[in-house]
């Protein structure tokens, strides 16, 4: 019998958010170990694992440390205190870092060497190679290095966030030892410096590559930085600082300046982690602890290169034989180059599934609008647009052609602030109406509206998406894009833009679910409706695909559905705080996660609804931040053909994956699904590459 008053504060019903994230990142590390990936793709996963950890410490761990310092005792739904979480994080990460070292040292590095990509110790270079590298050091690197001593006359130098450094012990003629620090200028030089195969001569291609770490090159020449002194030893280290700085402004006009100031402060946040070469002397470790005001629990000794995220540079090598086989994304025939995209959208709604479908039609949608004499206005939200954005260039072109263009650029998009500020200023310079965001909220919704004058009156053409207007990430993130000129959706989008750019306060929308006003209740009401339908018909079924599931109220609603027997299938790529398999609570819930070649980024919410099936796509995960502190949009897919494609093809393929899928267990751990007669070998992403375009019934 359903517990209609299921408590949402029972810790046993929830998995800790921070520990769930670490388990997700372990899936990324597992991909680095998976030999079914080409070799450089495995290097990429290793770098992504490390980069993910950097952001995790800068944002999540720093937040927990601040809570401990302030004496905050409030716990998340799972009941762990901030200090308990920090202890558990360290306990989980130590073996992960050991595994990372083993994968690099014992698997990937030897295979790179066998493939002709040689990463040498400096001491192993030939005399001729050392001579060449010495000249390179003298001419290029030495002039930009600044050795910094620290003693009674020299204060401890400031060490910026994520910078790579050498901690150096030097000794004078009186046998007295001193400490010094040299910053490794990875902002000016590649972390992996190319070494010629023969003196002064390098190959013109990347079939045989010799590399050495920049810090090793510097370490081998430290005597030039400290003449008259003996260099006893040097050790790489790297500091991660608190980058989770809140932006508080009372007026939107202050936002751009405030964000610029926050960006400067980010590099100066308090240290939250120090990565050390495992051979570093204990006396240097203790000195760093004292000078930086940290505890030994913040020190992480590693056997792999410090700052291993820099290995992503290897992906720039021209070795296609060591990378994923490229494919040509499909383009619906009605959206092919030169076709009238507005006529195509008038005929029917159009669904794109990136990267299997090309992002080019989205760019062309705005380009056509920019040059169409009947288009009056273009409005768009921009969260992460990337560099050299064709979308932004099309908006500038539209303004040059006299269109009314409004762009909401979310300056608070974490780690993309600088890029977004640059685009905001460029667009303003062209006369675009630029809005920097909404006070108190992040605008995460993905919306573009084109207003066009036609024979029968004004018509709104709308593109809504699950991902950013970013041509680069569209090739590696799985996301939906949806074109429609549905009148009610158009009115909803117009009203939402009026809220974003003006003072309109819209409490109800005809078709869209919009956070923070209607989205959470819209999801929970539909879950409760599914419970009613199941009690009537016995065929309740919910399928939710998202990046993260954290919100306690939504989790409680899913538990209620499970209790009455509704079949609940969740595919949650990352954090999942719902605990499946609890007797009497969640035994009808399964949770899976796919981590593979592409980053699963699309959000799909399916409700069986007694046979009157309903599907929403959009930008929102079920997290308190998305539902309460962001502007998010979920939109319905009502076209019967597109609805059938999602329900009968795309979702089943995802749910039947037996290659890249992990299944969440009730204890919070994951296990691989084993192929069986009912579920044979299936890689969902590979299948979708091979069958791309079938949802549009035509491949161009």
With beta carbons less than 8 A apart as the criterion, state whether 306 and 164 touch.
yes
Dihedral in degrees, nearest 10, Cα atoms 33, 34, 36, 41: -50
Query: What are the residue numbers of the active site?
Result: 444
301 and 394 in a single domain? The answer is no
- End-to-end C-alpha distance for the chain, whole angstroms: 53
pLDDT digits (tens, 9 = 90+) for 109-151: 999 999 999 999 999 999 999 999 999 999 999 999 999 987 6
- Give residue 100's domain range: 34-322
Query: Looking at residue 593, what is its pLDDT?
Result: 98
Whether pLDDT at 264 is above 80: no
Residue 290 forms part of a structural domain: yes
Give mean pLDDT, residues 547-570: 97
- Whichever domain contains 483, its CATH number is 3.30.870.10
Query: Looking at residue 618, what is its pLDDT?
Result: 97
Query: Looking at residue 418, what is its pLDDT?
Result: 73
Last residue of a domain, one of 509, 529, 555: 509
Total number of domains in the chain = 3
Query: Looking at residue 114, what is its pLDDT?
Result: 96
Residue 282 is inside which H or E element, if any?
helix 282-292
Last residue of a domain, one of 322, 342, 360: 322
432 and 577 in a single domain? The answer is no
Residue 49 is inside which H or E element, if any?
helix 39-56
CA 681/CA 690 separation, integer angstroms: 15
CA 589/CA 562 separation, integer angstroms: 6
Residue 5 forms part of a structural domain: no
317 and 419 in a single domain? The answer is no
Residue 644 forms part of a structural domain: yes
- Whichever domain contains 73, its CATH number is 3.30.1840.10
- For 368, the token pair is 């056509």
What number of helices (H) and strands (E) belong to the chain?
21, 27
Q: Distances in Å between the alpha carbon of 392 and those of 432, 449, 469, 478, 493? A: 11, 15, 9, 22, 20
561 C-beta neighbours (distance < 10 Å), count: 24
Query: Looking at residue 206, what is its pLDDT?
Result: 72
CA 657-662-89 angle, to 5 degrees, is 155
409 and 288 in a single domain? The answer is no
Last residue of a domain, one of 491, 509, 527: 509
| Cis amide bond preceding 245, omega within 30 | no
280 and 410 in a single domain? The answer is no
With beta carbons less than 8 A apart as the criterion, state whether 485 and 458 touch.
no
460 and 528 in a single domain? The answer is no
Query: Looking at residue 533, what is its pLDDT?
Result: 97
- Range in 247-261, 584-598, 665-679 with the lowest mean pLDDT: 247-261
pLDDT digits (tens, 9 = 90+) for 346-404: 999 999 999 999 999 999 999 999 999 999 999 999 988 878 899 999 999 999 999 99
Please state the three-class secondary structure of 623-673 as a single string.
CHHHHHCEEEEEEECCCHHHHHHHHHHHHHHHHCCCCCEEEECCCCCEEEC
pLDDT digits (tens, 9 = 90+) for 683-699: 999 999 999 888 776 43
With beta carbons less than 8 A apart as the criterion, state whether 545 and 526 touch.
no
Alpha carbon 1 to its chain's center: 41
- Range in 383-387, 427-431, 532-536 with the lowest mean pLDDT: 383-387
Q: What is the mean pLDDT of the chain?
A: 91
Residue 11 forms part of a structural domain: no
450 vs 409, more confident: 450
pLDDT digits (tens, 9 = 90+) for 637-680: 999 999 999 999 999 999 999 999 999 999 999 999 888 878 88
584 and 621 in a single domain? The answer is yes
54 and 99 in a single domain? The answer is yes
Give mean pLDDT, residues 469-484: 96
Q: Which residues of 497-519 are buried (b: 16+ CB within 10 A; e: fewer)?
A: beebbeeeeeeebebbbbbebbb
- Inter-axis angle of helices 417-429 and 255-266, nearest 10: 150
Query: Looking at residue 2, what is its pLDDT?
Result: 46
Residue 187 forms part of a structural domain: yes
pLDDT tier at 196, thresholds 50, 70, 90: confident
CA 262/CA 241 separation, integer angstroms: 14
Residue 4 forms part of a structural domain: no
503 and 522 in a single domain? The answer is no
447 and 549 in a single domain? The answer is no
455 and 568 in a single domain? The answer is no
644 C-beta neighbours (distance < 10 Å), count: 14
Query: Looking at residue 10, what is its pLDDT?
Result: 86
pLDDT tier at 291, thresholds 50, 70, 90: confident
* Percent residues over pLDDT 70 in the chain: 92
Residue 18 forms part of a structural domain: no
The β-bridge partners of 544 are 570, 605
- Could you say which DSSP state residue 307 is in? T
Whether pLDDT at 417 is above 90: no
379 and 318 in a single domain? The answer is no
With beta carbons less than 8 A apart as the criterion, state whether 178 and 151 touch.
yes
* Percent residues over pLDDT 90 in the chain: 76
pLDDT digits (tens, 9 = 90+) for 404-413: 999 998 877 6
Residue 8 forms part of a structural domain: no
Please state the three-class secondary structure of 361-399 as a single string.
HHHHHHHHHHHCCCEEEEEEEECCCCCCCHHHHHHHHHH
């Amino acid at each position: 019998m359903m517990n209609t008053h299921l408590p949402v504060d029972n810790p046993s019903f929830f998995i800790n958010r921070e520990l769930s994230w670490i388990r997700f990142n372990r899936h990324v590390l597992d991909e680095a170990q998976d030999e079914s990936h080409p070799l450089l793709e495995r290097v990429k996963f290793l770098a992504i694992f490390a980069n993910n950890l950097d952001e995790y410490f800068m944002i999540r761990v720093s937040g927990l440390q601040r809570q401990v310092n302030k004496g905050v005792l409030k716990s998340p739904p799972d009941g762990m205190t901030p200090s308990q979480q920090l202890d558990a994080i360290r306990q989980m990460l130590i073996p992960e870092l050991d595994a990372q070292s083993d994968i690099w040292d014992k698997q990937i590095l030897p295979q790179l060497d066998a493939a002709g990509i040689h990463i040498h110790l400096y001491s192993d270079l030939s005399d001729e190679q050392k001579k060449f590298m010495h000249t390179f050091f003298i001419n290029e690197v030495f002039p930009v290095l600044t050795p910094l001593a620290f003693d009674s006359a020299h204060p401890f130098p400031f060490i910026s966030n994520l910078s790579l450094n050498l901690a150096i012990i030097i000794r004078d003629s009186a046998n007295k030892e001193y400490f010094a620090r040299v910053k490794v200028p990875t902002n000016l030089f590649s972390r992996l410096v190319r070494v010629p195969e023969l003196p002064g001569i390098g190959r013109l291609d990347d079939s045989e590559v010799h590399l050495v770490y920049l810090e090793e090159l510097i370490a081998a020449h430290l005597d030039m930085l400290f003449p008259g002194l003996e260099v006893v030893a040097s050790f790489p280290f790297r500091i991660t600082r608190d980058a989770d700085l809140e932006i508080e402004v009372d007026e939107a006009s202050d936002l751009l300046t405030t964000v610029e100031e926050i960006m400067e402060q980010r590099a100066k946040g308090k240290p939250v982690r120090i990565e050390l070469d495992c051979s570093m002397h204990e006396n240097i470790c203790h000195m760093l602890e004292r000078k930086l005001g940290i505890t030994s629990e913040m020190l992480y000794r590693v056997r792999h290169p410090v700052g291993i995220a820099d290995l992503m540079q290897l992906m720039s090598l021209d070795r296609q034989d060591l990378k994923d086989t490229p494919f040509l994304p499909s383009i619906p025939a009605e959206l092919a180059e030169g076709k009238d995209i507005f006529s195509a959208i008038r005929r029917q709604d159009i669904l794109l599934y990136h990267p299997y479908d090309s992002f080019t039609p989205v760019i062309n949608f705005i380009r056509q609008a920019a040059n169409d004499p009947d288009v009056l206005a273009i409005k768009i939200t921009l969260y992460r647009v990337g560099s050299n954005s064709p979308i932004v260039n099309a908006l500038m072109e539209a303004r040059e052609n006299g269109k009314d263009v409004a762009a909401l650029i979310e300056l608070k998009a974490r780690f993309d602030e600088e890029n977004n500020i640059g685009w905001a200023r460029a667009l303003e310079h062209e006369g675009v109406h630029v809005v920097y965001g909404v006070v108190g909220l992040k605008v995460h919704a993905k919306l573009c509206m084109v207003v066009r004058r036609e024979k029968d009156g004004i018509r709104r053409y709308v593109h809504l998406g699950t991902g950013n207007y970013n041509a680069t990430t569209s090739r590696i993130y799985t996301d939906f894009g949806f074109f429609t000129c549905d009148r009610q959706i158009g009115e909803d989008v117009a009203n939402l833009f009026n809220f974003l750019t003006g003072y309109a306060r819209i409490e109800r929308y005809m078709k869209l679910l919009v956070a923070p006003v209607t989205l959470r209740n819209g999801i929970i009401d539909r879950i409760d409706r599914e419970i009613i339908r199941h009690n009537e018909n016995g065929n309740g079924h919910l399928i939710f695909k998202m990046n993260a599931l954290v919100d306690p109220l939504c989790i409680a609603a899913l538990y209620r559905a499970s209790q009455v027997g509704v079949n609940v299938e969740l595919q949650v790529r990352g954090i999942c705080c719902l605990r499946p398999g609890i007797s009497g609570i969640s035994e009808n819930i399964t949770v899976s996660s796919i981590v593979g070649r592409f980053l699963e980024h699309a959000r799909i919410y399916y409700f069986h609804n007694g046979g009157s099936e309903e599907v929403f796509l959009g930008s929102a995960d079920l997290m308190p931040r998305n539902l309460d502190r962001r502007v998010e949009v979920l939109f319905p897919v009502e076209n019967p053909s597109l609805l059938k494609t999602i329900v009968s093809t795309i979702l089943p393929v995802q749910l039947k994956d037996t290659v890249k899928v992990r299944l969440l267990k009730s204890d919070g751990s994951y296990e691989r699904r084993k192929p069986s007669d009912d579920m044979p070998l299936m890689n969902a992403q590979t299948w979708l590459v091979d069958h791309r375009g079938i949802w549009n019934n035509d491949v161009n």
